[in-house]
Amino acid sequence: MADLDELALPAPGQTPRRILTIAGSDSGGSAGLQADMRAFAMLGVHGCAAVTAVTVQNSLGVKAFHEIPVDVVAGQISAVASDIGIEAAKTGMLASTAIIETIVATWRAERLDGAVPLVVDPVCASNVGEPLLHPSALDAMRDALIPLATLVTPNLDEVRLLVGIDVVDDETQHDAARALHALGPRWALVKGGHLRNSPVSSDLLFDGADFYRFAAARVDTRHDHGAGDTLAAAIAAALAHGHTVPEAVSFAKVWVTECIRAAYPIGRGHGPVNGMARLSATKGDR
Ligand code: PXL
């Protein structure tokens, strides 16, 4: 269903599906909530944003970040949930134990648990390895937030930090999916994009019973900033439209691969995946 038409875009004047991203800001506009909002707009959903941290960042890296006070994080989530309403949510950079615990408490207090699909992208570091989560917050991510998730979407570095498994092949990817699922999410997606020796980027989805594979040809580019964010945001958008998790992952994998193929340089460092790839494709078709 990697077809935009199947996401049932809203008619003019019709309220679109609403999605909440709970994530950090990237001043460079490549990753974080900026990437999420771009994906949401391109997929015809109304994006709301609860900001957890503000990074000082450009294409050369993350210089610093400032955490948003926990009452402001909670306030943003409650303000959106109590008025605008949401049909799906995703989390990205969460920075600290206090922020994670606040999100969990607010999610429950607003009675969103079990009612609204939640995609947890357990962001620990930037694409070049700068920390975006205090190491001490891993326990809260693993024990408090991931059990609330409809789907958790770690890359291989995050898999190692969360469940201590070094994914090097198909067998260890299956082991990792089982270990992640045992943490309590409804579904676990072990992304294989960081398995550099493989000609394909192959992700493995598991619901405790069945495994599903989603593979795409590896795209060799240094401009991959925001790839994980864009994938998780596209999954959340498809879930908000009522698609199942395997359908949503299948759609989002094709979507993000298009964005990676169309990635562009920016500044002097790593450029972003092109979240607007579909716009240029449409224009080129004319
Ligand atoms: O791509 C992960 C990510 C998420 N959120 C923010 C980021 C990054 C990577 O740099 O800066 C704010």
pLDDT tens profile 172-213: 999 999 999 999 999 999 999 878 778 899 999 999 999 999
C-alpha of residue 24 to centroid of ligand 1, in Å: 7
Which distant-in-sequence residues (6+ apart) come within 8 Å of 283 by Cβ? none
What is the token pair recorded at 34? 């900026």
- pLDDT score, position 10: 84
Confidence check: pLDDT of 220 > 70: yes
Mean pLDDT of 215-226: 92
Which ligand 1 atom lies nearest to the CA of residue 225?
1
**Domains detected in the chain:** 18-275 (3.40.1190.20)
The answer to which of 130-144, 191-205, 228-242 has the lowest mean pLDDT is: 191-205
Which distant-in-sequence residues (6+ apart) come within 8 Å of 99 by Cβ? 52, 53, 67, 68, 70, 73, 137
- pLDDT score, position 108: 98
Mean pLDDT of 257-276: 96
Question: How far from the centroid of its chain's Cα atoms is residue 250's Cα?
Answer: 14
Return the best residue to mutate from 26, 37, 124, 191 for the ligand 1 pocket (most ligand atoms within 8 A of CB): 26
* Other residues' Cβ atoms within 10 Å of the Cβ of residue 234: 29
Confidence check: pLDDT of 75 > 70: yes
What is the token pair recorded at 166? 């070094």
- pLDDT score, position 2: 52
Q: Are 205 and 212 in contact, with CB atoms under 8 Å apart?
A: yes
C-alpha of residue 33 to centroid of ligand 1, in Å: 8
- pLDDT score, position 65: 97
Confidence of residue 61 (pLDDT cuts 50, 70, 90): very high
Q: Is this prediction's pTM over 0.85?
A: yes
- pLDDT score, position 286: 41
Task: Quote the mean pLDDT of the chain.
Answer: 94
